[in-house]
Structure 1
């Protein structure tokens, strides 16, 4: 089965489009991608097929019948339209050809996707083609009406070639016809790699872009070509979710690191593009996460579709919270600034709204990140301020990251039924396999919710992560005799990562549970250790202003509480002073388990856990540390 984007075709599609969608999905190979009506730089071809051994084929779909066609030539067709009027339109073959060349023009500017020398210099490395699908005409119709001079049989698919219910249908013929719809008739010697397919998607669909190393374009034998490296794009599942969610309310439940926030931001950008008049609200619980989402959205909105127009040298601060029609707020900031109410007033306001006695701002789309942290009242308020015409509400959550006790029924809270409207993301893209396993083993060992785990397709409270195949070093466990020694070692490790592994300071995060106890000034010790090693740092959780104004990419190590790190990720994470977990004043141990799990899953590649005292969690870590020492000693003995 081919991978289709979106996963299901819209309900308003024609019967012919639905038939073709199902046929392509069912009969094309598993590693083919079929896009239905993708928006590509202002155009919407009906279907775009990308296959590793195929290249790219663009299909135009027409539901013409013989009686619809009045006069046709190579340039224009005179037809009877659905309203029964006689109109002249561009030939569907020209439409398909123009759409194919439009795509080729975009891709030919990437140095990695063209031949740099030889007969096909500056042409795409892979073939591209186009065709027309006539969903209500058969091959007999072409013969009967002698349409072959204008309708090239090699460039079209007829009803009997796409309908599996027809006796003459053949999977082999369908595939062969698509393989022959090429402008440049050559087969790929080597199939397109995943990197090349990601590069194609990166250029055609800006909403899937995550990052790329960009080298300024330079003239190459009179041609200006883009030079992109280390391209990272959403995977197909994430892209599908961002594009599929559009119709009304949706729930995405995903493991830590599955790209939930990225999907949410991409969805917001798509909605803003499709509905320029919509007022769009993004809400989350955390102040620092709200600032992180603002920066992500700001980057997405400022990046033009064509990378030739993008000034990659600009990294300016963010002054305002609204970009165009997208407003990003943490929940309490939204109450205060936009609704001019307090949390205590919510039940009273809900009553007033029910009776039609209150006037508050309304939104065409609301997207909620970290939905597990929102109480029933909050969700009820949000749903009351959603445009009833659009019902465009997206809730994103991971209940393994719940650190606030909320009892919940989304149907009751919002008045919307999410049955059949939710998706589960089980693959963790953020962390290495070693970090995922380490964090999940800890969570499973300590959580009282471990018996409510959802395994892949089963709906449950907590979703067990599946790791990507990305490997990395094992998490490091550091034990010291007191906290000052612990931080001295942490500072040394940071310098080693920075100098030897070339990890930028901006990609390093230090997490602590509490800033001060009766015994110790935790934050003071952290700051002194960093200053002694001359490590630049930014105390993210010093106060609300620090949370609201932090810049993700300034060249400084970030220092934060674990709570405020939700939704963020860094290449290297140091969780210090773990002997203060579970925190003595916290009655809810489950919250502490979730917090440490959250902290661990912020790390993309390097994770360090350190302590200089004893607690329930450090006893667990100490067991692992001693087991490792034992195994190392045995290895050396038998080495």
Structure 2
């Protein structure tokens, strides 16, 4: 079964479009992608099919009957509508041809997607084609009315060829005809790779872009070409969710690393493009996450559809917004936008309900890390949401909840989320080893571990499923003293930089406690980094440092675990684990969630270190001993 985007076809689609959608989705191979009416640079082809052993095919669908057709030639058709009026339009094949060449012109600008030598130099390295589909005409109609005279039989599909209920339908014939709808004389030498298909999606659908390494367009034998590397795009499930969340109020529950923030930002961009007059607000709890989302939105909204128009010299992410999306952490929103304090919130809510207060209204509000919001915060949000649009998107992960919040979304917002939720259980951020390591710890130490996902239950914890991405086992380091601990961390940072080419900006050091009467942990850490010549930025030194944070600075980041929520780095060091659970913290559930959050910030490398003992370090020491035992058994065996 092919992967379709959207997952289901819209109810206003024609009967013929719905039939073709079901047939393509059911009978094409699993590794094919079928797009229905995608918006691509101002055009909307009916169907776009991408397959690793196929290439790219565009289909134009028509529900014409014999009585519709009046006068036909290969370029123009005169058709008769139900009122008897005649209209001259482009022929379906010409429409499909124009659409596919529109796509090809975009893709041919990428050096990695074209042939650089030989007879077909500067052509795409994969075949592309087009066809037309006639959902109410059969092959016998084409023969009887001599339609094959103006419609190439190799480039069209009739009702009996797309309807599985028709006696002459054949899955083999359907696939063979689509495989041969090509206008280029060459075929694929080898299947398109995952990277090739990601590159195609990256160019055609800007909304799926995450990042890529690319240099300024450069001339190659009189051709101006782009050179992209390390392309990262939303996976197909994330793309589907971002495009098909639906209107009104929605909730997304996702595990750490499932791309919740990315989908939220993409959704905001789609809303801004669709409704340029809307006031759109994105809220989250912590300052550093709001800064990250702000940078993400800025990049998304300022990236042109054509990368040839991209300003490669632009470095400043603080330039004025040219969009209607405002990103705030909740308290700065209260203070700077609404001009109220947290203490005033109860009285403001009463005045809003009684119609005595006027505050800004928003056409769409998107909330990240919603598990950290209080009931009154949701009540305020719902009061300032346009009652016509009711466009509220709530994103959360209860396993990352670090604040006790008693809530009912229906009661707090006045909106019913039942049947309006999506669950993301696949972790894309972390390696399988990190996912398993973090989740096993969480199950062992969280009181919420036994809660089972239920569509109608608001407080469930979602068990993560890992991607197939493999990596190193998370490191556990038991030191004799905190001085030895930070020296080890410093050496590992230098090793990651030298041997694994991990940028300093992709390294994060997390701490639970800044200092005690025994030691100033952060000061000791910074001293070790400075002596080793490792550039660093203390993110959580104060409010100003949080607001000035830029991830692309070439410095190792130092942060509390709380402020790391929503962020991710290639390498994460969690130091001083013996201070977790913190003795003065009564809520042990919060402590388990905090360490789970810390571990799941790491994409590739994770290291936990400690020099004293706590409930959690005893767990990790046992793991360390088990590893040593297994290693000895392997050597002796």
TM range, smaller chain: over 0.9
Match of 2:476? 477
TM-score by length of 1: 0.95
Higher mean alpha-carbon deviation, 498-507 vs 149-158, is at 149-158
Q: 3-state SS of the aligned residue for 1:451?
A: coil
Q: How far apart, CA to CA, are the structure 1 residues paired with 2:383 and 2:519? A: 47
Tell me by how many angstroms 1:124 deviates: 1.2
TM-score by length of 2: 0.95
Gap regions ≥5 residues in structure 1:
none
Tell me by how many angstroms 1:162 deviates: 2.0
Q: How far apart, CA to CA, are the structure 2 residues paired with 1:481 and 1:83? A: 89
Match of 1:341? 340
Q: How far apart, CA to CA, are the structure 2 residues paired with 1:389 and 1:69? A: 44
Match of 1:293? 293
Q: Is the 8 A contact 2:419 2:455 kept in 1?
A: no
Tell me by how many angstroms 1:228 deviates: 1.6
Q: How far apart, CA to CA, are the structure 1 residues paired with 2:284 and 2:367? A: 6
Q: Is the 8 A contact 2:398 2:459 kept in 1?
A: no
Tell me by how many angstroms 1:631 deviates: 3.1
Q: Is the 8 A contact 2:578 2:614 kept in 1?
A: yes
Q: Is the 8 A contact 2:71 2:78 kept in 1?
A: yes
Match of 1:494? 493
Q: Is the 8 A contact 2:418 2:455 kept in 1?
A: no
Q: 3-state SS of the aligned residue for 1:417?
A: coil
**Structure 1 residues 532-577: Cα deviation after superposition (integer angstroms, max 9, x where no partner):** 1121111101111111111111011111000000000111111111
Whether 1:140 and 2:148 are equivalent positions in the alignment is no
Higher mean alpha-carbon deviation, 231-240 vs 7-16, is at 7-16
Q: How far apart, CA to CA, are the structure 1 residues paired with 2:38 and 2:472? A: 40
Distance 1:319 1:286, change over 3 A: farther
Match of 1:508? 507
What pairs with 1:98-247 in structure 2 (closer than 5 Å)?
98-247=98-247
Match of 2:71? 71
Q: How far apart, CA to CA, are the structure 2 residues paired with 1:459 and 1:179? A: 47
Q: 3-state SS of the aligned residue for 1:450?
A: coil
Whether 1:447 and 2:449 are equivalent positions in the alignment is no
What pairs with 1:404-483 in structure 2 (closer than 5 Å)?
404-454=403-453, 461-483=460-482
**Structure 1 residues 236-256: Cα deviation after superposition (integer angstroms, max 9, x where no partner):** 111111111143332211111
Match of 2:26? 26
Q: How far apart, CA to CA, are the structure 2 residues paired with 1:274 and 1:344? A: 37
**Structure 1 residues 374-415: Cα deviation after superposition (integer angstroms, max 9, x where no partner):** 122222322232223333222111111000112233233323
Tell me by how many angstroms 1:458 deviates: 10
Whether 1:8 and 2:8 are equivalent positions in the alignment is yes
Q: How far apart, CA to CA, are the structure 2 residues paired with 1:71 and 1:358? A: 66
When the two chains are superposed, the root-mean-square deviation of aligned CA atoms in Å is 2.2
**Structure 1 residues 495-530: Cα deviation after superposition (integer angstroms, max 9, x where no partner):** 222222221111111111121222221221122111
Q: Is the 8 A contact 1:426 1:456 kept in 2?
A: no
Match of 1:401? 400
Q: Is the 8 A contact 1:246 1:392 kept in 2?
A: no
Tell me by how many angstroms 1:85 deviates: 4.8
Higher mean alpha-carbon deviation, 138-147 vs 362-371, is at 138-147
Match of 1:604? 603
Q: Is the 8 A contact 2:93 2:131 kept in 1?
A: yes
Tell me by how many angstroms 1:460 deviates: 6.7
Q: How far apart, CA to CA, are the structure 1 residues paired with 2:117 and 2:458? A: 54
Match of 1:572? 571
**Structure 1 residues 47-77: Cα deviation after superposition (integer angstroms, max 9, x where no partner):** 1001111111101122223333333322222
Higher mean alpha-carbon deviation, 545-554 vs 498-507, is at 498-507
Q: Is the 8 A contact 1:565 1:602 kept in 2?
A: yes
Q: 3-state SS of the aligned residue for 2:243?
A: helix
Q: Is the 8 A contact 1:456 1:464 kept in 2?
A: no
What pairs with 1:375-390 in structure 2 (closer than 5 Å)?
375-390=374-389
Q: Is the 8 A contact 2:538 2:545 kept in 1?
A: yes
Match of 1:624? 623
Tell me by how many angstroms 1:457 deviates: 13
Q: Is the 8 A contact 2:454 2:460 kept in 1?
A: no
Tell me by how many angstroms 1:319 deviates: 5.5
Distance 1:567 1:83, change over 3 A: farther
